[in-house]
Amino acid sequence: MMRPTEGCGYVTSVAIGGMPIDIRSASLDFIRMIENRYDGFVTEPVNAGIRFDVDVVQASSANQDEDLRVSRTADRWIMSRGDFRAEWDPASNLGLVRQAAYPYAIDSVMRIVHSLVLAERGGFLGHSASVVRHGRGFLFSGVSGAGKTTISSLAPSDVRVLTDEISYVRRTGDGYQAYGTPFFGDLGSPGENITAPIAALYLLTHGQENRAETVSPSLSVQRLLRNILFFADDASLVKRLFSSACEFVSKVPVYELTFRPDGEVWNLIQ
């Protein structure tokens, strides 16, 4: 899907959750690396949405330990970590990234930008696995070690995995839609680039038996908020995310799923 651009440069596009982000760089090797990393999510450049120009520089160890920071100035978002610096203007949808020639930095930039856009639209990125079964989407949420990859790996043949790590949730009309993402955990492979309406959220807990129990709305909101990925220190967007979490649990059933690591747990996923 890579295309040469006018002047010196190449461009490709990565579409996640139905939202493409064009990536342009003078480095052909970098663009090829991006297309390999996001295979299955690469599409034709749209030249009308979000675009990042990536300046590929020599890797430096000077600030490698610098933590991620996301802040907003009057007209743009500033993102930085030890391995990259980026800025994005949501009015023009244009951004710049300065990073070394590996995919981890632009991967972080895309997660941040998607989280910001989703927060504005009533959706979110969630620290959860998600799948499609019989045309319906299911989320499995939990902190590291809760069993997201385990439940994904136990899925029967009629289940299509969207991700075992970071779920993409969009508000659509009166419900919510789950989308496949290229962000993966221990499963080691990206999810399928498909989508389905969300039928239920399961909060994962390891146990000696398989059982699913309804969770109260107030506890559901608390547990969901713990697992929403949001990187910016922005009070107005944090408030929107809280409202989005409340709205989500009012429309999507939430269960505590206690399970042992065997395929029989999938008999409870309906």
Q: Where do the H-state alpha helices sit in the chain?
A: 28-37, 103-120, 148-153, 217-226, 235-251
With cut-offs at 50, 70 and 90, classify the pLDDT of residue 184: confident
Average pLDDT over residues 141-149: 86
Contact 130, 195 (CB under 8 A): no
Domain ranges of the chain: 3-120, 124-268
Q: Which residue has 């908020």 as its token pair? A: 225
Confidence at 35, pLDDT banded by 50, 70, 90: very high
Domain at 124-268, CATH class: alpha beta
pTM exceeds 0.95 for this model: no
Q: What is the DSSP string of 114-166?
A: HHHHHHHTT-EEEEEEEEEETTEEEEEE-STTSSHHHHHHT--TTEEEEESSE
The residues near 250 (Cβ < 8 Å, ≥ 6 apart) are 217
Of 46-60, 205-219, 229-243, the poorest mean pLDDT is in 46-60
Cα(4)–Cα(17) distance, integer angstroms: 25
Q: What is the pLDDT of residues 38-90, one digit of tens each?
A: 999 999 987 778 999 999 998 765 566 788 999 999 899 999 999 999 999 99
Answer yes or no: are the C-beta atoms of 217 and 155 closer than 8 Å: no
d(CA 123, CA 189): 24
